[in-house]
Structure 1
Amino acid sequence: MMGLWGQGGIGKTTLAKALYNDVFRQFEGSCFMANVRETSKGCRGLVTLQEILLKDILLPQQRLVVSNADRGINLIQHRLGRKKVLLILDDVDDLRQVNALAGEGMWFGNGSRIIFTTRDKHMLICQGIDEDHVYEVKALDRSEAHELLSKHAFPTHQKLEIRTDLVDSVLNHAKGLPLALEVLGSFLCGRREHVWESTLNKLSRIPNKNINDVLKISYDGLEENEKEIFLHITCFFREWNSEYIKKVLDSCDFEASIGFEILMERSLINIERGIVQVHDLIQLMGMDIVNQECCNDPRRRSRLWLYDDILDVLSSNMGDCAVKAVVLKPPELKEICIGANAFTKMRRLRLLIVRNVHNSFQGPIYLPNELRWFEWHGCALQIPEFSSGPKKLVGLDMSYCNITIVPKQLKDFQQLKYINFSNCESLISMPDLSCTPNLKELDLKDCKNLVEAHNSIAYHDKLQLLNLWGCSELSVFPNVIKSKNLQTLNLDGCRKFERFPNIPHELKGLKKLCLEGTAIKGLPTSIGNLISLERMFLHNCKSLVSLPSSIYKLQNLGNLGLDGCTNLSGFPKYEDLADPCMKAGLSKLRWLSLSKCNLSEVKFLEDLSCFPFLKELDLTWNNITSLPASFNKRDHLTHLDVTKCHQLREIHELPPFLDGLWAEGCESLQKNGDLTSIHHFIRRRLTMTDIFPHGQVRLSLSHTSMCGICRM
């Protein structure tokens, strides 16, 4: 069994037909079952399909009448169980169809092949088809698309010439979708340039019906949750970050995770490097569905995204409207005047995102209580007002706004999970988080005048992310941290932050700690209570003098960065920890960076029970003269960088599995030092022809420096 999977109009059926015509003679019987989805809808749908299957594979005089689907299954197994057959089931969308026509592969004789075409990848997986046997049919590349369009738009007998830019515009619109290329090519065949121009203008607003009807089949097969998510994405969130979109949709009472999975399985969306991608024609289809809710009156539509439509609705004084979501994001900064009660008539409004818009109205803005996500970047106002009664707001984003202080009214928002006041340079105090018990994320990045972090962050039960990056005036911070669910604490760039709080109890939540550029002089002994910490960055902490021996207790720490800590005396002695229960310190550390730390010796590397699985070590721009004798026993080390270690004179012996060595600018090593270990390293690499088949390593030496880029 195998599957051809892809979006509507992508060419699955065409490919399956070509495959069928190429190989059907190699089988004792064959059947191309077209339009399975449509045919199976009737009251005898599955039975009709079973009769077609038996008729096509058996001789016509052996035609069998099937009374019901169960009887049909028995007949297929009995009559075809010994035959080598080729069966193609085209446009399958339900496991019941598969179970009635093919069931398990064992229904047919040895050497049989069963091929499905479908828009739903999950159905193939449920059928037990391995991922390796699912072929994703992808859009045509530029040259293939041009060839297909030319075939339909410019037959050989046609003498009419069309401008290249118009042809390119059609190709850009179709984005390699064969259905669109065929439909548009056939429609434009024989038409003059002004018709091409008019057609393209129309298509930018209204999708072609023949193309749209095929694409819409995938949408019609979705459940309500997935339909709503799909319309939000096509109308608002194409090419936005997927995690952000999930956060917004979950806040609006949708189940985003399963929704995304289903939409990807149906080839309606794709996620590339965390960004949601949608084919142009599928996006047009989604927008058209919303526009068809009411063609002439935007107040009767569920979603608004066009600037003129939104302004029309906001300026209207007519009564209640159906709008549930508004995203206003013009490409250029717009100055508008939205009155105090402009949004109150949108009683169903759940989502409101405004970017690149300045409101000239100076009074308070009132918002409906049903609102779940409010985002207005650069708003000149304080936090908007809500009507009396329970507030349902989950996300509040007023970054780049002129907020000076967070009002006490925040206590009315018990459902708040996300607050973003980043780049609010006038903000001087952090809100009391005890009045928002469900808060998960607080982003105060680049609040340059923020002085004090409220004591409530120390005890908040739900807080997971606290971002204070770039709060250069922050100097007051709680003395302890007990937030058991805090996962990320970012204090990078807090230049006046001097004392890291005590951690009186073990915290299983905190995984990432960023203290780059702070004024801390040391870490508390209780740092060992961060038992789940995976990454800690202390780059450019110029006042940092020492690290406590309890740092060796961080048994989950994988990355540790100390670049530019110019006053650091080095690592503490492992024996100072005096913990007989620990066989190794920092046992999961893989990456350690100590660049520009003014180190003159690295004795802490002698003890192999410290970070025994270290893979990458950066010692660049230090004053070290040698590496420990035991250094060659670090069997897991693969990358060593000692660039610009001008005093380095000798490397006794390099680790056995080192793959990359950087030693540019180590003048003492070349002029006076021992290069034996490096020569051994190069010879060893040269003999590893199974890994490096060309057997070549470049080593460049000069009288001023050694370029030891022996990176294999």
Structure 2
Amino acid sequence: MYEHVFIGKIVEEVLKKITLGITLHVGDYLVGLEPQKQRLISLLNVGSDDTVHMVGIHGIGGIGKTTLALEVYNSTVHQFQCSCFLKVRENYHKNGLVLQKILLSQIVEKNIEINSVEEGISILQKILSKNKVLLLLDDVDNEKQLQAIAGKPNWFGLGSRVIITTRNQRLLTLHGVEAEHTYEVKELNDKDAFELVRWNAFKNEKTDRVFSGYAHVLDRAVAYASGLPLALEVIGSHFSNRTIEECKCALDQCERVLDEKIQMTLQLSFDDLKKEEKIVFLDIACCLKGYKLTTVEQILRAHHGYSIRNHINVLVEKSLIKISEFGNVTLHDLIEDMGKDIVRQESPNPGERSRLWDSDDIEEVLKENKVSSFESSRCRDIKSVPPLNCPSLIELDLSYCANLESFPLMVNGFRGQLKLKILRLINCRKIKIIPLIMLDSLEELNLRGCTNLKTIPPLKLASFEELDLSYCTTLESFPHVVDGFLGKLKTLLLTNCHNLKSIPPIKLDSLEKVDFSNCHLLERYSILGNLNLPKRDAVLSMNPTPSSRVEYICHENCKVSLDYLSDRLLMFANVTELHLTKNRITVLPKSIKEFKFLSRLILDDCKELQEIQEIPPSLKSLSALNCQALTSSCKTKLLNQVMI
């Protein structure tokens, strides 16, 4: 061998030894990392050379995942034969080829030609399996990235460790990283946060200056950042070489409009969401923070169906929201600000934005009187609605506005001008009264869950199709219907109106669904006759008209009489599903067989029921759970009945 070649190989080996275990720059000033660093080092279990570990670090953007990972990397890199720190997201272009080339160049210290991802995987497996490797894969956002450069533990030599940082916890699960080898980065406590913002503001200046007037503004910065290191560093830099008043102004600006650097960092997680996931996130960020998970799911299920649970899981996995130990949906204050800022950017005009949460914006929009559809549900700030004179307003939804106390009693233009078709005030629990409703165009009125609503003014609603008064637990009387006619009403829901005693005469030619479940005090309603009194001469003056449209009837926990079952119920000849749960009936009469289309009959918890005299011909499902008084002969007959 030529002497110069030999010397060259010696130099190459020496350089490898020198560069082996080289540490990387982390940051100029680090606080609050040591406990988390020690926890991660324990997860790596570097001293064990008989296995390969993959460890995942996850958390929201700007929380310090990369900083923590680099600290762990620097503390352990000297124990490995070769190492690599790879910024994954910024070097991933359509496939993992670029990532593979960077990784190989750092491991073998020379460029290797690769023509495809598959070829790169084969080469990586051969090289990595012969070495004890420390690999730090930073900011992974796609499972294909991991498949291309760190597919399985058996790619690596024994003793190797792979550290993965990501905003998406699910990626770790999909890649087989065990739950006990994952770590969620925590926010800084107030003491460490104060120290970090102080250092970024004043660097090495004497700390006496801080406590001579700056402490208050620094405390404000700590509260605003809520432990997010990125925000503390950005705000601290804004304070550098500024007077106290200038610092206050800078912080005021940050509180009004999220700093661009913080916004861009946090919004990366939002941009990775699918369309429906983005909608759910913005709903939560703008309107639903702090609500119980069950309530959030109930509210959003109307728009997203039962897939809402999956959407929420995705948001949790991507560290955009959290579910507290008490079951509340929470999110970091700056994540909330990021979401609200996305909505603000939709338009400078609040009336053209997809969501409203600020009471001043809501009042401004309603006073403009130019909107055709207005939804500001779940706004906790709004307490009252200004007078409405919006000829173009078609839909008004103020559901779940927990502090809404009143509607304007005098509503300009309501009669003859307002074309409102939908009015929803679901779960507005402080509302006690709503204005006179004389809306010829109204099709839907939903007051579900208005638990303090005691009375409703007369209704004159020629176009009415749906009325929901469910869970209006203090409502004592059904609203008077002008002319006694709701000819287009299809759905009437009065579930859990515990204090409702009667319903006035109403003609309902189009009724399709009615539910009076748990109306404990309901004694009479003229559509179906007298539920409580057995004598037929007690029926109200308005003669009921048979309805061929109703297919579903629910009378759970009501005072249904034998007379009602024998006579009045038969007006609904086409009913297919009948619920009579928790009624004090003793006999289900023979007339039940007249329901030719009834396929499902529920009699659960009718504890006094003794006899079921006949079975409808089309019945497919009969449930009589906990009907303790049923006679043995009746049970035998039911068991022998052939159900088709």
From 204, 217, 220, the counterpart of 2:271 = 220
Amino acid at match of 2:246: V
Amino acid at match of 1:220: D
SS of the equivalent of 2:134 reads strand
> For 2:233 and 2:278, how far apart are their aligned partners in 1?
28
Structure 1 residue 327: deviation in Å? Answer: 5.0
> For 1:67 and 1:347, how far apart are their aligned partners in 2?
60
Give yes or no for contact 2:439–2:460 (8 Å, CA) kept in 1: no
Map 1:184-195 → 2, pairs under 5 A: 184-195=235-246
Q: Which residue of 2 aligns with 1:276?
A: 329
SS of the equivalent of 2:83 reads strand
From 239, 264, 267, the counterpart of 2:290 = 239
Q: Which residue of 1 aligns with 2:191?
A: 143
> Higher helix fraction: Structure 1 or Structure 2?
2
Distance of aligned partners of 1:398 and 1:72 in 2 relative to their CA distance in 1, 3 Å threshold:
same
Q: Which residue of 2 aligns with 1:175?
A: 226
Q: Which residue of 2 aligns with 1:631?
A: none
Q: Which residue of 2 aligns with 1:129?
A: 177
Structure 1 residue 271: deviation in Å? Answer: 1.9
> For 2:365 and 2:386, how far apart are their aligned partners in 1?
13
> For 2:426 and 2:436, how far apart are their aligned partners in 1?
10
Q: Which residue of 2 aligns with 1:359?
A: 407
Map 1:191-210 → 2, pairs under 5 A: 191-210=242-261
Q: TM-score, normalised by structure 1?
A: 0.60
Q: Which residue of 1 aligns with 2:66?
A: 13
Q: Which residue of 1 aligns with 2:639?
A: none
Q: Which residue of 2 aligns with 1:599?
A: none
Q: Which residue of 2 aligns with 1:27?
A: 80
SS of the equivalent of 1:243 reads helix
Q: Which residue of 1 aligns with 2:106?
A: 56
Q: Which residue of 2 aligns with 1:86?
A: 134
Structure 1 residue 170: deviation in Å? Answer: 1.4
1:250 aligns with 2:301: yes
Q: Deviations over 1:155-210 (max 9, x none)?
A: 33235223443322211111111111222123223433212322332233211221
SS of the equivalent of 2:297 reads helix
From 465, 475, 478, the counterpart of 1:424 = 475
Map 1:257-656 → 2, pairs under 5 A: 257-272=309-324, 273-295=326-348, 297-318=349-370, 325=376, 328-330=379-381, 333-334=383-384, 336-339=385-388, 341-342=389-390, 345=392, 354=401, 355-363=403-411, 364=414, 366=418, 368-369=420-421, 376=428, 377-378=430-431, 380-381=433-434, 388=441, 396-404=448-456, 407=459, 412-413=464-465, 419-425=470-476, 427=478, 442-444=495-497, 447=499, 450-452=500-502, 466=517, 500-502=583-585, 523-524=607-608, 550=628
Distance of aligned partners of 1:156 and 1:66 in 2 relative to their CA distance in 1, 3 Å threshold:
same
Structure 1 residue 144: deviation in Å? Answer: 2.8
Distance of aligned partners of 1:190 and 1:251 in 2 relative to their CA distance in 1, 3 Å threshold:
same
Give yes or no for contact 1:299–1:322 (8 Å, CA) kept in 2: no
SS of the equivalent of 1:110 reads coil
Give yes or no for contact 1:5–1:118 (8 Å, CA) kept in 2: yes
Give yes or no for contact 2:444–2:464 (8 Å, CA) kept in 1: no
Distance of aligned partners of 1:134 and 1:72 in 2 relative to their CA distance in 1, 3 Å threshold:
same
Structure 1 residue 433: deviation in Å? Answer: 13
> For 2:555 and 2:190, how far apart are their aligned partners in 1?
46
Q: Deviations over 1:223-254 (max 9, x none)?
A: 11111111111111111232222222222356
Q: TM-score, normalised by structure 2?
A: 0.66
Distance of aligned partners of 1:478 and 1:140 in 2 relative to their CA distance in 1, 3 Å threshold:
farther
Q: Which residue of 1 aligns with 2:97?
A: 47
> For 1:435 and 1:321, how far apart are their aligned partners in 2?
23
Q: Which residue of 1 aligns with 2:164?
A: 116
> For 1:369 and 1:191, how far apart are their aligned partners in 2?
56
Structure 1 residue 27: deviation in Å? Answer: 2.2
Structure 1 residue 79: deviation in Å? Answer: 2.1
Unaligned runs of 5+ in 2: 1-53, 525-529, 534-550, 560-581, 589-598, 613-621, 637-644
Structure 1 residue 292: deviation in Å? Answer: 1.2
Distance of aligned partners of 1:441 and 1:413 in 2 relative to their CA distance in 1, 3 Å threshold:
same
Structure 1 residue 399: deviation in Å? Answer: 4.0
Q: Which residue of 2 aligns with 1:155?
A: 203
Give yes or no for contact 1:429–1:452 (8 Å, CA) kept in 2: no
Give yes or no for contact 1:87–1:115 (8 Å, CA) kept in 2: yes
SS of the equivalent of 1:30 reads strand
Distance of aligned partners of 1:198 and 1:64 in 2 relative to their CA distance in 1, 3 Å threshold:
same
Q: Deviations over 1:493-530 (max 9, x none)?
A: xxxxxx9523879999899x9xxxxxxxx952569998
Amino acid at match of 2:132: K
Structure 1 residue 284: deviation in Å? Answer: 0.8
Residues matched between the structures, number = 504
> For 2:358 and 2:235, how far apart are their aligned partners in 1?
26
Structure 1 residue 102: deviation in Å? Answer: 1.2
Q: Deviations over 1:454-504 (max 9, x none)?
A: 999xxx999999455xx7x65669579xx999899699xxxxxxx952387
SS of the equivalent of 1:330 reads coil
Distance of aligned partners of 1:98 and 1:346 in 2 relative to their CA distance in 1, 3 Å threshold:
farther
SS of the equivalent of 1:90 reads strand
Amino acid at match of 2:332: H
Structure 1 residue 105: deviation in Å? Answer: 2.0
> For 2:314 and 2:555, how far apart are their aligned partners in 1?
29
SS of the equivalent of 1:117 reads strand
Give yes or no for contact 1:432–1:454 (8 Å, CA) kept in 2: no
Give yes or no for contact 1:152–1:189 (8 Å, CA) kept in 2: yes
Distance of aligned partners of 1:192 and 1:75 in 2 relative to their CA distance in 1, 3 Å threshold:
same
> For 2:603 and 2:85, how far apart are their aligned partners in 1?
57
Distance of aligned partners of 1:168 and 1:462 in 2 relative to their CA distance in 1, 3 Å threshold:
farther
Structure 1 residue 403: deviation in Å? Answer: 2.9
Q: Deviations over 1:529-559 (max 9, x none)?
A: 98768xxxxxxxxxxxxxx9x39x9xxxxxx
Amino acid at match of 2:262: I
Map 1:649-688 → 2, pairs under 5 A: none
Structure 1 residue 421: deviation in Å? Answer: 2.3
> For 1:128 and 1:441, how far apart are their aligned partners in 2?
51
> For 1:145 and 1:485, how far apart are their aligned partners in 2?
60
Amino acid at match of 2:387: I
Higher relative contact order (CA 8 A, sep 6+): 2
SS of the equivalent of 2:62 reads coil
> For 2:191 and 2:556, how far apart are their aligned partners in 1?
48
Q: Deviations over 1:361-380 (max 9, x none)?
A: 42448565477775655163
Q: Which residue of 1 aligns with 2:567?
A: none
| Percent pairwise identity | 29
Give yes or no for contact 1:324–1:346 (8 Å, CA) kept in 2: no
SS of the equivalent of 1:86 reads strand
What is the RMSD computed on CA atoms of the aligned residues?
Answer: 4.6
SS of the equivalent of 1:114 reads strand
Structure 1 residue 452: deviation in Å? Answer: 4.2
> For 2:558 and 2:105, how far apart are their aligned partners in 1?
69
> For 1:388 and 1:160, how far apart are their aligned partners in 2?
67
Amino acid at match of 1:338: P
Q: Deviations over 1:327-354 (max 9, x none)?
A: 55437x54x5322x43x63568766555
> For 2:244 and 2:517, how far apart are their aligned partners in 1?
58
Unaligned runs of 5+ in 1: 492-498, 514-521, 534-547, 554-575, 582-712
